[in-house]
A and B are shown apart, each in its own frame.
Chain A
C-alpha cells in the first residue's frame, strides 16, 4: 500500500486541521447561521447611545475613539471617526450601522447597498435630541427603552429651563479649542445647553454651516463675554486651559477679569447620553 493511515503524524495533522476548520466555521457568522442583530457604531456618541439603549451585546464594531464605557474598547475597531475602513465594517457583516452627521454620502450608499440599515443621529439641535433618541431606538428595535431615555432627557432640559428663569443671563464663549481658538456658534447644541442654564452665547451669529468657527483675538475682544467656558479631558489639560485663560485675560487687560469655568470634555462635547450628567452638573452651578 502506497500510504498507511496508521502513521501517527498523519492523524496528528488531520486532528489539527479539523480543529482549525471547526474554529473557522464557528467564527464565521455566515457559516454558523447566526441571524442576530449586529450593530456597528461609527462615532463615539453613537456607541454611547447604543450602550445606553441596552444593545451592548449586539455591538460588534466601534471606532478608535470610542472609549466610553471603557469595556467597549475591547470590541473590533473599524477605523477612526470620519475615517472608517469600509472593509472592516463589511467584514463584521453588520445588520445595523449607527453614525452621526458627517458620514459621507458615498459611504452611506455603499453600506446601504451591502444590506445594512444605516441610522444617522442628527445632533444639530438639543431640543430635537429626544425625538432622535426615540427614532434611533425604534429603528434598532428597543422603542420602549428609547422612549424612557428620551423622557429623562426632556426632564433634564426642563430642569435647566427652570433654573434659567431664576437668574440673570450671562454672556459666555464656549471654547472647544484654545490654540487656535475655536468656539461653539449659537447654532451648536453645546451653546444651546448653556443657554438653557442661563448663559447666552456672546459670539455674533455665524453662517449656520459653521457650528464651531475659528475666532481671532480681535473677535474675542469684541465679543464682550463675561464668562469663558473651556473643556478638558484630564487634569493636565485643565491646567493648560487655566493658564491660557489667564494669559488671555492679561492680554485683554480689562478692569474686571472674565470669569472662567472648565468642564469635563467628553460629557459636554459628545452629543451622547452623558449630556444628562452634564445637565445635572449645570443645574447645580451658579454663574
Chain B
C-alpha cells in the first residue's frame, strides 16, 4: 500500500501538491505563525512612559520574563503538577475502558460502537456546563461529600469544592476521552494471536498483558498522554470554576487576568511563551524517552 502510494505520488507533479497546500498553509502562517511572533514581540514590550494603563511600545525588554517568572512560578509549577495528576487519572480511567472495548468486546462491533459512544458522550455536553456540574456533584451538601463524611474519609468540616481535588477531578474527567480513544485505536490494531501466543508460551494473563499488550499499546498511551497533558496544563476553566483564589490557581488564569483585567500584555505574553516553550521541551523529552518520535 505505502509503496504503491509512494510510487504514484512520485510520478505526480509537485506543483499541484503545492497548490493544494497553499491556501491552508498561508492561513496557518497568518493566524498561527505570525501571531506567535506577535506574542514574542509583545512579551518584550515596555510601558509607554507617562502613558495610560495598557499602553505599551515595542522594545526588547527581556527583563519581563524574569519579573513574570519570579512572581508566577508557583502557578506555572502547579499547572504542570495538576496536568500530570490529571494525565495519570485519565490513564487510570481511560486505559481499562479502551481495553474493555477493544479487546474484551472484539468481534462484537455493535457493542463496541455503543461503548465508544458512551466514551465520547461527555463531549456532547458543553465543556463549561460539565465543569459546573462537577460543582454541583461535589457541593458541600451533595451525595459525594455526605458519603465521604459518613465514611470518615473527609473530616466533618472538610469539603471538596474550592479544593485542588475538585480541579484535578474535573481536569481528569475532561480528558478521559482524549486518553481512551488513541489507546483504543492501538489496542484495536493489536493482533489477538499475539496475546494467544503469550498464553501459549506460558505467560499468565497478567504477564501477557505486561509483556505483550501494554508495550504494543504504547503508541496509543503516548498520544493519549500528550492529548491530555498539553491542554490540561493550559486549562483554566476547571481551576477558576472549581478552585479557590489562593492555592489552586493555574497559569492560564494568570494569563487571562493579566490580559483582560490588568491589561498587562507583556507579562501575559511572556508567561504564554514560557508555557509554550516548557511544554515543547517536556513533550520533546517524553517522546524521546518513550521512543515514539515517529508519532509526531
Please indicate whether A and B come from the same complex rather than being unrelated chains: no
Which residues of A line the B interface, CB within 8 A?
none
Which residues of B line the A interface, CB within 8 A?
none
